[in-house]
Chains A and B, each alone.
Chain A
Amino acid sequence: MCASRAIHSPVNGTTAIPWRSSRKRLSLLEQLRGCQEAWCPGAPWDREGAHAAICGTPAGSFLVVRDSATSQPSLLCVSAGGEHEAVVDYNITSTGTVFQLSDSRLSFSDLAQLVLFYSLTRDVLAVCLFIPRWIYSVTERSKDNLAQLEPNTWLCTPPGQHTTDEMNQREPSNVVCSIQLTSTNGALCIINPLYLHEHGDDWLTHRASAVQRATQPSNYRQERRLSSTRTWVGAGLTSKRAISLDQEPSSMESSGLTRAKSADLPRCPTTPSTPATPAGVVLRRPSRDSASSPPYRASTGSLSLFTPSNSESKSCGAFEPQHHGSPVLQSPYRVSWIEDGVWLPPPRPSSLLHPPSLELDSLSISSIEEEQEPQTPNPTPHHPSAHRLADKVIHRLSAVGQALGGLVSPRKRLINRVLELSERKGAAFAEAVKGFVEMTLKTGADPEGVTGSEFLQQVRSSLSSLRETLLDYPEIQATLDGITDINDSEIDSLVELSLHKVALKPVSAHLYSCIHVSRTNDGSFKRLQSNLRVLEKNGVEQLGGSAGVGVPDSLTLERIQQRWTSMHEAYSPNKKVQILLKVCKTIYHSMSANASSGTAFGADDFLPCLTWVLLRSDVVTLHLDTDYMMELLDPTQLQGEGGYYLTTLYASLYYISSFRPRLAARQLSVEAQQSLNKWHRRRTLHCNQSRRSKNRRTIRRQACRERGAQSFETETEEKEKSGKDCDSVNNDESQQQRESSAEALQPLKEDTSRGREAEDESQIPSQASDCSQQAVTGS
């Protein structure tokens, strides 16, 4: 209960977020802690005194009463508001370090967290706790003043406090806070600050006033009962969303409010308006494994509406008395479904299409683009109820279980924000996207224009500047700041993904055809296909794999082919990489299937195995996708796991296309280096551009390192070339290098007529190094 305690401090092992804590302002939680004496007074305050003070105050007004004997907080007295001015008591259990309401499973490490939580979400309460508006203004006051506040001051609600104007004027960042709490079984729940960002804090008071009008004490029991049946009609959040869409009054009018109103009405699953609500409703898939959701929906609103069909009929009737006459629903923020087991990761389907281990963890972009895997059916709809419960929590609260492995809602929200921006008339970002799409579609169509990797690099640099434009929007920054539960690199991926959706999607087919033309013209595809025929008979051991390493069986191979297909269908390079990782994992599985346990297969075996798989795949399309990924992927992604396996895919394709049994391996190496030098330089150039300043410190350093490397490489290369020139024996090679370095990603120019023997292999580099080594090391 220390007032200075950072709100992001780890609770039960959750990780602090360093760069965000540095931006921490005086939060609502801290303000609450500061005036705890006001809302949790000591003696002589008792239950009767509290009731007397609370009586007549707005619904949700509360005081915490301490036990007279132990002076531990023992009772939460909450005004139910309404005509009867009832006050409801809730027992508080405290075990010294943990506070919880006796009826709830949720426990909190201090009382202020408990209060704040119940001001956001009702859980077992009849209404959310009401925190007076004036508390937001205590930022400037000294702590002493805070501590001297009286309970009566606390409960005092000056007139006019609920005006919306005042709400809007208030700096929204004041409410940036998050609560992490654990239930008794160790499950974690987070109130995402994004929720507050997204919906503002006005719902706090809206809710209060609405409840004041609508809630009758007689409803109280029913409310309780409803809470325990864990059903939800799904309209509450929608209405909140409509209120917070202040930037777009028109869209609010067209989608938000109407939807809110229609949703307000008592409705059943059969109500036609429910599934057919106007654009802006996004139904999230129940889970990443499930394909039971509708495929892709364009959306303008960012609200996810979820209607649990199996409980709908029950809830329809039950909710009826609650909804009529109230345009603003009562609190949709409720976490009382958190119970044992719900937060556990859903059991994996046992289908062959989804082996249990095919989960990704790096580059974890999650399945944001739900349209990307239409071909993966979900044959085992396991535990739908658990899914639904989890979905409800995620959607309505932006709460997330750590065990569920990701926050879908904030991601969705960002993506939808970006979509909104890209469609906003006259906005700089929308114009930039439009210009990019038009320019890209035009550029490739010109047969005389640049093609291939140069073209893709233009696209990549355009993406990077679009990204900058996007990040210049304060609302995007605010949205990103609100995402507290994924790390910076994942946020980067998220921004990239949303960018891909608006910018890359419209042009991806065009980019494919450009790459195809380019690669056909330079002979890459032909070379690849002819070498495929030479190599395809080779077993994995002939390809370099060690004895005992397994290869995918026909069924697995078929599954891999499906993945390749979906990889090709994905327009986002990040998504493609994600699918590539799945394939690699499958291959790894096959490798070790028959191996003795404990064998750690490294690259020595993986590369041959991947090559073996590629030789049984559509290498032309794969080459196309590889180009696409290598040129368009955010440069910061190239160092991680995705970058590694992408490099390996590229290397394997390169091996196939450059395969010449009698060609000196080392000669290839020199050329490969030239080619890669080029590629690497191109890619790292944009590394700096695409980085965002303050929160990206580690990456920026990396970029600096890379930048230093580039200039050095250039120098090295030049020296190396001059060294080559004095080497008359290898004139042919140096000539060839220049040619190949002119076209970066292109596999080697073939020159088998010279047919250098393998014995030459160590000669060339050492000769080159004789001339250049001194210069390199001396610098």
Chain B
Amino acid sequence: MALRELKVCLLGDTGVGKSSIVWRFVEDSFDPNINPTIGASFMTKTVQYQNELHKFLIWDTAGQERFRALAPMYYRGSAAAIIVYDITKEESFQTLKNWVKELRQHGPPNIVVAIAGNKCDLTDSREVPEKDAKDYADSIHAIFVETSAKNAININEVFIEISKGIPVVDAAGGTSGKAFKLGRQASESHRTCC
């Protein structure tokens, strides 16, 4: 079975729960050797997708505004980016839009973009309506999922959708598709929470 290493970059404001999402994603990796030993800012997990193994190399970035200039160093060469916002913080959704712009401009072509509205367990303090976010994601052909790292909702789904969105490697070794080839619709099942 072919193993593909997929570099995935995490973007989003500080405090939106980027590292919690990753932590939740990798926590059930049964093989301790697969899990990182150094810290939560870099983690890996291998999952099977169809007849391939996808090894996610997850690069977390510092979300503070002062470090924004450093982000290109991290998303360089990424196969996918997960842009995380906090559904209880409108501001974090605006930051997300800036990230999308920047990725379009400077990110790798063909990068799969996934938008994760985290903390969807906190419905009471929601500031970003799900429909708004979903419409925005559709408009840029991005994967959209509302997640809750706390309650382990839709975490795996984000990565499954990314696996689906990764261009298939054809025999010639090239990848097909255009920039932002993200035409996948987030399926209904992703809205089971909230």
Contact = CB atoms under 8 A, between A and B. Distances in A.
Contacts of B4: 698, 701-702
A708 B101 contact: no
A18 to B, nearest CB: 7
Given A651-B70, A779-B179, A361 B37 contact: yes
A345 to B, nearest CB: 13
B36 A544 contact: no
B65 A665 contact: yes
A127 interface: no
Contacts of B5: 639, 698, 702
B14 A604 contact: yes
A685 B44 CA distance: 25
B73 A357 contact: no
Contact of A705 (B3, B59, B65, B79): B79
Interface stretch (A71-79, A299-307, A672-680): A672-680
A777 B103 CA distance: 11
B129 interface: no
B159 interface: no
Nearest to B13: A604
A672 B72 contact: yes
A666 B10 CA distance: 19
Interface string B96-117: 0010011011101110000000
B39 A361 contact: no
B175 A606 contact: no
B60 A769 contact: no
Contacts of A360: 37
Contacts of B70: 607, 651, 654-655, 672
A517 interface: no
Given A701-B173, A708-B174, A708-B175, A668 B69 contact: yes
A473 interface: no
A584 B19 CA distance: 17
A249 B123 CA distance: 79
Contacts of A604: 14-15, 18-19, 60, 62-64
A665 B69 contact: yes
B19 A704 contact: no
Interface string A583-627: 011001001000000001111101110000000000000000000
Interface in B1-36: 1-5, 7, 10, 14-15, 18-20, 22-23, 33, 36
A581 B41 CA distance: 12
B41 A602 contact: yes
Nearest to B64: A544
A766 interface: yes
B71 interface: yes
A309 interface: no
A658 interface: yes
Contacts of B1: 18
B37 A680 contact: no
A650 interface: yes
Interface size classification for chain A:
35 or more
Nearest to A779: B179
A403 interface: no
A18 B10 CA distance: 32
Given A600-B23, A603-B60, A644-B59, A672 B77 contact: no
B41 A606 contact: yes
A601 B39 CA distance: 7
Contacts of A706: 77
Contact of B39 (A606, A673, A698): A606
A668 to B, nearest CB: 4
A606 B22 CA distance: 15
Interface in B69-105: 69-74, 76-77, 79, 98, 101-102, 104-105
Contact of A673 (B23, B40, B72): B72
B105 A776 contact: yes
Given A584-B38, A641-B38, A601 B19 contact: yes
B178 interface: yes
B62 A701 contact: no
A543 to B, nearest CB: 9
A676 B42 contact: no
A321 interface: no
A458 interface: no
A672 B70 CA distance: 7
A447 to B, nearest CB: 31
A544 B15 CA distance: 12
A274 B110 CA distance: 62
Contacts of A640: 44, 57
Contacts of A603: 10, 18-19, 41, 60-63
A712 B76 CA distance: 13
Contacts of B57: 639-640, 644
Q: Which of A639, A640, A700 has the most CB of B within 10 A?
A: A639
Interface in A669-695: 669, 671-673, 676-677, 680, 684
Q: Which of B2, B66, B70, B79 has the most CB of A within 10 A?
A: B70
A306 B109 CA distance: 55
A773 B105 contact: yes
A760 to B, nearest CB: 13
B98 A762 contact: yes
A525 interface: no
Contacts of A584: 38-39
Contact of B66 (A544, A700, A776): A544
A746 interface: no
Interface string A560-596: 0000000000000000000001001100100100000
B88 to A, nearest CB: 17
Contact of B102 (A644, A655, A712, A765): A765
A709 interface: yes
Given A361-B37, A604-B64, A608-B62, A672 B175 contact: no
B43 to A, nearest CB: 9
A669 B72 contact: yes
Contact of B22 (A602, A651, A665, A680): A602
A698 B3 contact: yes
A1 to B, nearest CB: 27
B68 interface: yes
Given A607-B67, A654-B70, A762-B98, A769 B37 contact: no
Contacts of A666: 68-69
Contacts of B3: 698
A585 B38 contact: yes
Nearest to A681: B76
A640 B43 CA distance: 9
Contacts of B72: 669, 672-673, 676-677
A655 B67 contact: yes
B95 to A, nearest CB: 10
A361 B180 contact: no
A359 interface: yes
A337 interface: no
Contacts of B36: 361-362, 641
A647 B173 CA distance: 27
Contacts of A607: 62, 67, 70
B77 A709 contact: yes
Q: Which of B3, B18, B44, B79 has the most CB of A within 10 A?
A: B3
A591 B69 CA distance: 24
B20 A544 contact: no
A348 to B, nearest CB: 14
20 contacts: A544-B64, A546-B14, A585-B39, A604-B19, A604-B63, A639-B7, A640-B57, A641-B42, A644-B42, A645-B42, A647-B74, A651-B70, A669-B72, A673-B106, A677-B106, A700-B173, A706-B77, A708-B174, A709-B110, A713-B108
Which 8 residue pairs are nearest across A and B when measured between Cβ atoms? A602-B19, A588-B39, A603-B60, A668-B69, A669-B69, A644-B42, A603-B41, A607-B62
Given A361-B33, A602-B41, A639-B5, 19 more contacts: A585-B37, A600-B20, A600-B23, A603-B10, A603-B61, A604-B18, A606-B62, A607-B70, A640-B57, A645-B42, A654-B70, A658-B69, A665-B66, A669-B69, A673-B106, A677-B72, A698-B3, A702-B5, A776-B105
